C-alpha cells in the first residue's frame, strides 16, 4: 500500500498488535501512546492515515477526546484519512466522529481482514484527495499564468484613455460588453482588460473566434459532447461555454455567425444553460459575456443578417476601440514596445529608430492598425543590417515611406509572404535559420510555403 500510518492508543498491547499486523501494509508505521505530540508527529513523519482511539483517560468514555483530536487533525490537514478505534458500546460516538469528518470506525476487538481493507480504502481516499488538491493548485497556477504576462495596453492618447475609462467603470459589473472596431485595433486586449479588473479575474477568460467554427462542429466546440455522441466521441468533452464557467467568455468576430448559429447562442445566453451533444441534460453556466466584431451589426440587423434580439442581449455596454491612425503618438510608443520585443527575440541589441524613421511611422495611415505595425516592426528588425532603422526600413502598404495620403493597401498575408521571401534570401534558403528568425516551426514554415506558393 505504501504511505505512512500513525496509530494513537493508550493501550501498549493494542499498539504492539496493530504495528505487527500493519507494518507490511505501509511504508512506515508510527505509534503514539500519548496524543500530546500528535500534530508534531504528523508534521515530522508526513502521515497519510491515522488510527485514533476515542478515549485516553481511565474511567472516561465520553469520546470527547477522540472528537477533539479528530478536529485538530483535520484542521491541520483535511486530506488525512482518520479511522476511529472504539469499543462496541461507543458506536454512537463513532458515528458522530464520522459525521465530523472521520473516514470510518473500527470496533474492538477488530477483525484483521476488515482492518486491512478499511486502511486500504482510507489510503486510496488520501491519494485521491492529494491528487485533487495538486490539480486544484496546478489549475490556479495555470489561471494566474493565463491572466498575467499578457501584452499591456500601450498608449496615452485621449481616444484610448476614454476607452479605458469605460473599461474601469464596467469591469466590476457582470454586464455584457460589446466591443467594436477595425481589424487589428486590439479588441481582444480590451476584453482581457475588462476580465482582469472584474470580480472573475481569478478564473479564466476563454476566447472563441466565432468566424472560424464550421456549422457542423459548432455545437460540439461550444457546448461539448458526451462519449458516444458520434463516431469519434471516445470520451466526454466540455465545450467553450462550460470551460468559461465562473469566468469570462469572449466571443470574437460574432458578426461572422450565420443566422442558424446565432439562434443557438441566443438560447444558451437566455437560459444560462447548455446541452451537450448526445445528452438531454441541461448544464448550468455562469459566465460574463464579452463579444466583439469589426462589422456594423445594426446594419446587418436591418438587412436580416443578424438577430436583433441577440444584438440586444450582447450589447448592454458598447465600447468602440479607436483605429491607430486616430491615436497620434501612441504609434511611437507601440513601435518602441515591439522594437524591444523583437530586438530581444532576434538578438539584435542596440537597434534604434532614428528621427526620420519615427516621422515616417507617424505619417503612415496604418490601415491594418496595431497588427500591421507589429508585423512591420518585426520585419524591419529581421531585415536590419545596421543599428539604425530609418524611413527606408519600413514597408508601408508594400511601398517604402508611403504616407497617409497615398498608401496602397496590402493585406497582412501579402506582408507575411514578403517577410518570408526576404528572410529566405537573407538566410540563403537555410530553413532552420529562417524558421528560427520568424519564430515559427519548420512545419509551419512548410505550410506557409504551400499557402503562398513560395
User: In terms of domains, do 122 and 242 share one?
Assistant: no
The answer on 86 and 24 residing in a single domain is yes
- Could you report the per-residue pLDDT of 192-232, keeping only the tens digit for each? 999 999 999 988 888 898 878 888 888 898 999 988 888 88
Instruction: Calculate the dihedral angle through the C-alpha atoms of 211, 214, 217, 222, rounding to the nearest 10 degrees.
Output: 10
| pLDDT tens column, 378-422 | 999 999 989 999 999 997 764 433 444 444 456 777 778 888 888
**294 — phi, psi (to 5°)?**
-105, 5
CATH code where residue 363 lies = 1.10.8.60
Residue 31: how many other CB atoms lie within 10 Å: 17
Q: Is residue 145 part of a domain?
A: no
Give per-residue pLDDT as tens, 117-175. 999 999 999 988 888 876 776 666 566 655 555 678 999 999 999 999 999 999 999 99
In a domain, 150, yes or no: no
Does 243 share its domain with 128?
A: no
Q: And the C-alpha cell for 311?
A: 444584438
Strand-strand pairing, 224-225 and 205-209: unpaired
pTM: 0.62
On whether both 14 and 103 belong to a single domain, the answer is yes
Place of cell 521571401: 421
Could you tell me the CATH number of the domain that includes residue 59?
3.40.50.2300
Residues 260 and 334 grouped into a single domain: no
Q: Are residues 394 and 356 in contact, defined by beta-carbon separation less than 8 angstroms?
A: no
Count the neighbouring beta carbons within 10 Å of the beta carbon of residue 275.
16
Q: What is the domain-level CATH number for residue 432?
A: 1.10.10.60
Q: Is 371 exposed, middle or buried (0-12, 13-18, 19+ CB in 10 A)?
A: middle
**Beta carbons within 8 Å of 186's beta carbon, 6+ residues apart:** 153, 321, 369, 370
- Looking at the structure of the chain, the number of domains it has is 4
E strand residue ranges, 39-154: 49-53, 81-87, 104-108
DSSP strand pairing (177-180 vs 317-320): parallel
Amino acid at each position: 500500500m505504501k504511505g505512512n500510518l500513525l496509530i494513537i492508543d493508550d493501550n501498549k498491547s493494542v499498539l504492539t498488535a496493530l504495528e505487527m499486523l500493519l507494518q507490511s501494509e505501509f511504508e512506515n508505521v508510527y505509534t503514539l501512546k500519548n496524543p500530546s505530540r500528535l500534530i508534531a508527529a504528523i508534521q515530522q513523519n508526513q502521515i497519510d492515515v491515522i488510527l485514533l482511539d476515542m478515549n485516553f483517560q481511565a474511567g472516561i468514555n465520553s469520546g470527547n477526546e477522540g472528537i477533539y483530536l479528530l478536529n485538530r487533525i483535520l484542521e491541520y490537514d483535511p486530506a488525512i484519512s482518520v479511522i476511529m478505534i472504539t469499543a462496541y458500546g461507543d458506536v454512537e460516538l463513532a458515528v458522530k466522529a464520522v459525521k465530523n469528518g472521520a473516514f470510518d470506525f473500527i470496533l474492538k476487538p477488530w477483525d484483521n481482514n476488515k482492518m486491512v481493507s478499511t486502511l486500504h480504502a482510507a489510503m486510496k481516499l488520501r491519494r485521491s484527495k492529494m491528487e485533487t488538491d495538486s490539480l486544484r493548485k496546478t489549475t490556479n497556477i495555470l489561471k494566474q499564468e493565463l491572466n498575467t504576462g499578457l501584452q499591456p495596453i500601450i498608449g496615452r492618447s485621449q481616444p484610448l484613455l476614454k476607452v479605458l475609462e469605460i473599461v474601469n467603470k464596467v469591469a466590476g459589473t457582470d454586464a455584457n460588453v460589446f466591443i467594436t472596431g477595425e481589424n487589428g485595433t486590439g479588441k481582444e486586449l480590451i476584453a482581457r482588460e475588462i476580465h482582469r479588473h472584474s470580480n472573475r479575474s481569478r478564473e479564466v477568460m476563454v476566447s472563441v473566434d466565432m468566424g472560424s467554427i464550421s456549422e457542423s462542429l459548432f455545437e460540439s466546440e461550444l457546448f461539448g459532447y458526451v462519449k458516444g455522441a458520434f463516431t469519434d466521441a471516445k470520451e466526454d468533452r466540455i465545450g467553450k461555454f462550460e470551460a468559461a464557467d465562473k469566468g469570462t467568455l469572449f466571443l470574437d468576430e460574432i458578426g461572422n455567425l450565420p443566422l442558424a448559429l446565432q439562434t443557438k447562442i441566443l438560447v444558451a445566453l437566455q437560459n444560462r444553460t447548455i446541452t451537450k451533444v448526445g445528452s438531454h441534460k441541461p448544464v448550468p453556466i455562469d459566465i460574463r459575456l464579452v463579444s466583439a466584431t469589426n462589422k456594423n451589426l445594426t446594419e446587418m440587423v436591418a438587412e436580416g443578417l443578424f438577430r436583433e434580439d441577440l444584438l440586444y442581449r450582447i450589447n448592454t455596454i458598447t465600447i468602440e476601440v479607436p483605429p491607430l491612425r486616430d491615436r497620434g503618438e501612441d504609434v511611437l510608443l507601440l513601435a518602441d514596445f515591439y522594437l524591444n520585443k523583437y530586438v530581444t527575440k532576434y538578438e539584435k541589441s542596440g537597434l534604434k529608430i532614428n528621427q526620420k524613421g519615427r516621422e515616417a511611422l507617424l505619417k503612415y495611415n496604418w490601415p491594418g492598425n496595431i497588427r500591421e505595425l507589429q508585423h512591420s516592426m518585426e520585419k524591419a528588425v529581421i531585415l536590419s543590417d545596421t543599428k539604425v532603422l530609418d524611413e527606408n526600413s519600413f514597408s508601408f502598404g508594400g511601398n517604402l515611406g508611403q504616407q497617409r495620403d497615398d498608401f496602397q493597401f496590402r493585406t497582412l498575408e501579402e506582408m507575411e509572404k514578403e517577410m518570408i521571401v526576404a528572410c529566405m534570401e537573407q538566410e540563403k534558403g537555410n530553413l532552420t535559420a529562417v524558421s528560427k528568425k520568424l519564430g515559427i516551426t519548420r512545419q509551419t514554415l512548410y505550410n506557409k510555403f504551400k499557402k503562398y506558393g513560395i
